[in-house]
Amino acid sequence: MTTLANAVVALVALLHLYFLVLEMFLWDKPAGLRAFGHSPDAAAASKVLAANQGLYNGFLAAGLLWGLGLGAGGLSIKLFFLGCVLVAGTYGAATASRRILYVQALPAAAGLALTWFTR
């Protein structure tokens, strides 16, 4: 079960690295425009804010990878960062797009539950 929990934590970390790339580097490119449904003008106007958001997603990924890298000693770090992702995903789903609930919050909740119950 620990392997499954760590696999889900790694998946959440990889998702957040992907979000970093989308928001920091592809926001106003075709892939970013498709992913977020923005017009080129709206993307250009919000590019700096998106890059900042992407940086935060990178910090979440770094924290999760740090926790994984510590092995059993990284339990509290993984739980903390999964909790942060869950809160961010829930807030994003309530304020921006319900899709965020499934793409960000649900994987974090699964990782949090699996990690908690395998401690």
Domain ranges for the chain, please list them.
Answer: 2-117
End-to-end CA distance of the chain: 10
pTM summary value: 0.93
Of all residues in the chain, the percent with pLDDT exceeding 90 is: 97
Residue 26 has pLDDT above 90, yes or no: yes
Residue 1 has pLDDT above 90, yes or no: no
- Digit-coded pLDDT (tens) for 46-75: 999 999 999 999 999 999 999 999 999 999
Closest C-alpha among 52, 1, 3, 63 to residue 23: 52
**Band of pLDDT at residue 119, cut at 50, 70 and 90:** confident
